[in-house]
Structure formats: structure tokens, C-alpha cells
Amino acid sequence: MTEYTTLLADLNALLRIKTTVIGMQLFETVAEMEAIPRIRRPKTVHTTDQIVSMASRMGWTVGITGADLVGQQCGAVIGLAPQDEDWKKGERYVGVWHGDAESAAGRQEALTCVPYGKYAAMAVSPLESGRLPAPKICLVYATPGQMIILINGLQYRNYRKMEWSVVGETACADSWGKALATGEPSLSLPCFAERRYGGVPDEEMLMALSPADLAVAVEGMKALAKNGLRYPIPPYGIQMDPSLGMGGSYKKT
């Protein structure tokens, strides 16, 4: 049993999450990453999306360096490759993801990345395994219906409006890149690469947040559930008089 066992049991009871919740941690040395129990190391290059999905879809604990990633884009988002001037130009995306050089460079500039130079390795693992000594963030894949309840839980106390970005391709910069760089909860629409190479289903969104914020969300969702606001959200009926339902959901009785 790990410190996350109860937290994840509560999360799964509240939201019926299908995909394994995982942790992600950056390491200043490769030796620190390789010391993780039962760590797997890739035998060929991969995208970061694939590495993440090895943990979330297959339950593996996987560690990488920048050399294990297929290109600079994947490494740059998590601080394992430089965000240099050539990278910022985004020339390889012209005529593919963007119709002109200005748009490609604009997208590269919009990405939220971990600064390069501090970290040498990254690892992902099912959060419940407890193998990561200090996961910086956890990744929660969920449907839109599940995700809004999770967000409502985050906002139950100490309310704040949450605003997220959509960079388009390289959406991992909206999720794990942004959460690692800022420490703030970050929601994303997984992009083409995440779905094609990471196997993320059409219906799933991704929230990256710290374990502490996940605990806040769970406590908030518990309170909401006691108020009758829980997942799954039952359809009321588009032709029904909403008075009874509205009274239960929006007026304290």
C-alpha cells in the first residue's frame, strides 16, 4: 500500500476512471532515474506520448533521457532538449501543420516548456505503485463529463477561474509541459500525435496536476457528491419541466 492508495480509490469511486492515473517526475541525473524500482528503459526511440501511455495503458514504470525520444520536439517540452533558435522557427512544420513560416514559429513560441539544462531524465509510473520518489505531477485521462466534475472539485473551496490554452499540435505542452513548468493544473485536448502514437481514445481529455491538487479535487468531489452532484450525470430530459431538478441542484433546501 502506498500513500496514494486511498486517494486513487476515492478518485475511482467518484469518477469511475478507466485509464490508470500515473505520476511523472524529472531527474537531474540519469542515475537517479535508473535507481527507481522495476524501471524499464526503451530499446528504441519513442515519442513522449508513447512513454506516457506505457504507464497509463500498460501499467509500466518507464524512464527516459532525451536520447530515447524520436525528435527535439518531444524532448524540448519536458526540458530534455534545447529550445534553441532553430527549434523556435519550426521549419519542419511548414506545409504540414502550418501554411507559412510565421504560423509555425508562432506555434513554437506558444508552447509552454520546462527550461532546458536542469534535468537529464524523466520517468512515469502508475501513481499507486509508489515507485516514483517525488512525482511532480500526475496525469488523469477522463471523458468530458468526468473532467468537469473533477474541475468542480478543484473549485469547491478557494474558487478560482481556470483558463487553459490550446496550442493545437504538440498539445502535451498544454498538459504535462505546462503543469511541470508552472505547477498549476493544466487541461488539454490530446493532439493528433497523442492519439496516433500514444493511443489516447477519441473521448478522453487529459488533466495534468500535482498530487496535492488531485487530493484537493477529490475532497471537493466528495462534498459535491453529498450535495447530490456526482458522476455519472444523469440526463434529465430535454422536454421535461426542470423545476424539480433545478431545485435539487441549484437551491439549498
Nearest to 107 by CA among 141, 62, 77: 77
Which residues form the domain of 214? 5-232
In a domain, 82, yes or no: yes
CA–CA distance, 57 with 200 (Å, rounded to integer): 9
pLDDT tens for each residue of 9-62:
999 999 999 999 999 999 999 999 999 999 999 999 999 999 999 999 999 999
In a domain, 240, yes or no: no
pLDDT tens for each residue of 192-203:
999 999 999 999
* Structure confidence at residue 83 as a pLDDT band (50, 70, 90): very high
In a domain, 147, yes or no: yes
In a domain, 210, yes or no: yes
In a domain, 243, yes or no: no
In a domain, 170, yes or no: yes
Count of residues in the chain: 253
In a domain, 247, yes or no: no
In a domain, 253, yes or no: no
CA–CA distance, 208 with 176 (Å, rounded to integer): 6
Tally of domains within the chain: 1
pLDDT for position 192: 97
Torsion, Cα of 244, 160, 139, 135 (10° steps): -140
Q: Of all residues in the chain, what percent are helix, strand and coil, respectively (each to 5)?
A: 40, 15, 45
